[in-house]
Amino acid sequence: MQESEDPLSALITEGEDPLSALVTLVIENYQRYSRGPYRVKDALQKAKQADGSSVERILVEKSPTAWYAYIAAHKTKTLDRGPEGRVELSRLLDHLGNQPMHRQHEFVNQLAAAMESIDANTSPQSAKRRRIATEDNTVAPVQPTSITRNADTCLTNVEPSVTEQIPALVTSRDVYVGAPLEPAEELFHDQFWDSVERTQSKEQPGVLLADISMIFQEGYIREHFGCQMEIGIAKEKVADLAFQYFGVKLEDKDGVRSICYPGGGKIEPDPSIKLRACHRDLSGIFRGVLHEGAHTSPIYQREKVERRNRTDGVSMTISNQAKEGAKITVFLGEWRASAIKKKFYG
């Protein structure tokens, strides 16, 4: 079908590229968000595992903030009711999905450049915060912005309040992917550090990063659990860590990973399952500010008051494929999470 026959033509200014119109609507939608879309962690994991030529995969590697704006647009598309322009946004997203690969990649480049321009105009220090630091081997972070919360969420006074003007405190729109090896190593004890997966830097060929992601999300999760760090675990270490920290025995047979249930039964993840109730003593796993961050998360503090023997502040997601690694999620208090973010990304 020729472009002139596209039913979207009536929605677009004469002569305007539909992809440019979509970029505009995606950004407008992103700027309306006061809270991040739910299940962003699942969306991030899916994007990282998507086909290398897909819009989601390219966006998350090229510009995490542009990827975030893109999934926020898709979230708006699914709403029964939404802001003005939702119908146009939905139709243009469908239009994008029907375009050839080179046109989809044009959209990715336009959106990434537009979001970078917005970041650059948000703060005088944004260039420093957004840069790819070749000396530290970091990936490009998302521009931090101000936060509107009124008080800290911890149950005890172990975290400074937001009103104390935490430096470089980041908001729900921040997703950071990859961490430089040297500062990351300082946060883990040796045995656990050897279990952390290494990944290739997309911006610097030949440079390895730790498979660590940080997500700063507003809303219920952040208020009741904390900021999130996701740690990729090498496939050969999954069984040992599952047993050591969660008391769960795994079995790999014919490429399929199962959980061995007491009494002889087995549970096969479909396609994945999350292990919770980690040992509360995290001193043999984390060090320094990461250890402090795990202890000062809202969920860990609440469990302390409730005198729990185990914590849901650390969980492990495993798949049914023995060839795949795992993800350990750690909830962190805001102050320490921000300190780690600064250590990794400046």
Q: Is residue 126 part of a domain?
A: no
In this structure, the answer to whether residues 59 and 111 fall within a common structural domain is yes
In this structure, the answer to whether residues 191 and 225 fall within a common structural domain is yes
In this structure, the answer to whether residues 194 and 298 fall within a common structural domain is yes
In this structure, the answer to whether residues 148 and 282 fall within a common structural domain is yes
Q: What is the pLDDT of residue 233?
A: 96
Within 10 Å of residue 12's Cβ, how many Cβ atoms? 17
Q: What is the pLDDT of residue 117?
A: 65
Q: Is residue 328 part of a domain?
A: yes
Query: Are the beta carbons of 166 and 334 closer than 8 angstroms?
Result: yes
Rounded to whole angstroms, how far apart are CA atoms 247 and 227?
25
The token duo for 304 is 């302390």
The token duo for 77 is 């598309």
In this structure, the answer to whether residues 100 and 176 fall within a common structural domain is no
Pairing of strands 310-311, 278-279: antiparallel
Rounded to whole angstroms, how far apart are CA atoms 114 and 118?
6
In this structure, the answer to whether residues 184 and 295 fall within a common structural domain is yes
In this structure, the answer to whether residues 181 and 254 fall within a common structural domain is yes
Q: What residues pair up with 233 in beta bridges, in sequence order?
A: 196, 326
Q: What is the pLDDT of residue 68?
A: 86
Give residues with Cβ within 8 angstroms of 201, minimum separation 6.
137, 139, 178, 207, 208, 209
Last residue of a domain, one of 120, 149, 176: 120
In this structure, the answer to whether residues 330 and 247 fall within a common structural domain is yes
Q: Is residue 125 part of a domain?
A: no
Q: Which domain holds residue 62?
A: 3-120
Pairing of strands 310-311, 314-319: unpaired
Last residue of a domain, one of 120, 151, 177: 120
Q: Is residue 127 part of a domain?
A: no
Q: Which of 251, 260, 314 lies closest to 285 in space, CA to CA?
A: 314
The token duo for 285 is 């796993």
CA 52 to chain centroid: 18
- The region that residue 59 occupies, defined by phi over 0 for left and psi between -120 and 50 for alpha, beta otherwise, is alpha
Rounded to whole angstroms, how far apart are CA atoms 98 and 55?
12
Q: Is residue 200 part of a domain?
A: yes
In this structure, the answer to whether residues 280 and 190 fall within a common structural domain is yes
Give residues with Cβ within 8 angstroms of 110, minimum separation 6.
19, 20, 23
Q: Is residue 22 part of a domain?
A: yes
Query: Are the beta carbons of 167 and 123 closer than 8 angstroms?
Result: no
Q: Is residue 210 part of a domain?
A: yes
In this structure, the answer to whether residues 227 and 322 fall within a common structural domain is yes
Burial 80-95 (b: 16+ CB within 10 A, else e): eebeebbebbbbbbeb
Q: Considering its fold, how many domains does the chain have in total?
A: 2
In this structure, the answer to whether residues 100 and 151 fall within a common structural domain is no
Per DSSP, the three-state class of 251 is strand
Burial 226-248 (b: 16+ CB within 10 A, else e): bbbbbbbbebebbbebbebbbeb
Q: Would you give per-residue pLDDT tens digits along the chain (346 residues)?
A: 444 433 343 444 444 678 888 888 888 888 776 555 556 667 777 877 777 777 888 888 777 888 888 888 888 887 755 555 678 888 888 888 888 777 888 888 888 877 776 655 444 333 333 332 223 333 333 333 333 333 333 333 344 433 233 333 333 346 788 999 999 999 999 999 999 999 988 878 889 999 999 888 777 778 888 999 999 999 999 999 999 999 999 999 999 999 998 888 999 887 888 899 999 999 999 999 999 999 999 999 999 999 999 999 999 999 888 999 999 999 999 999 999 999 998 8
The token duo for 199 is 């990944």
Rounded to whole angstroms, how far apart are CA atoms 162 and 150?
7
Q: What is the pLDDT of residue 146?
A: 30
Instruction: Measure the CA angle with vertex 187, ends 201 and 234; round to 5°.
Output: 55
The token duo for 308 is 């729990």
Q: Is residue 194 part of a domain?
A: yes
Burial class (CB in 10 A: 0-12, 13-18, 19+), 113: middle
Last residue of a domain, one of 98, 120, 142: 120
In this structure, the answer to whether residues 281 and 164 fall within a common structural domain is yes
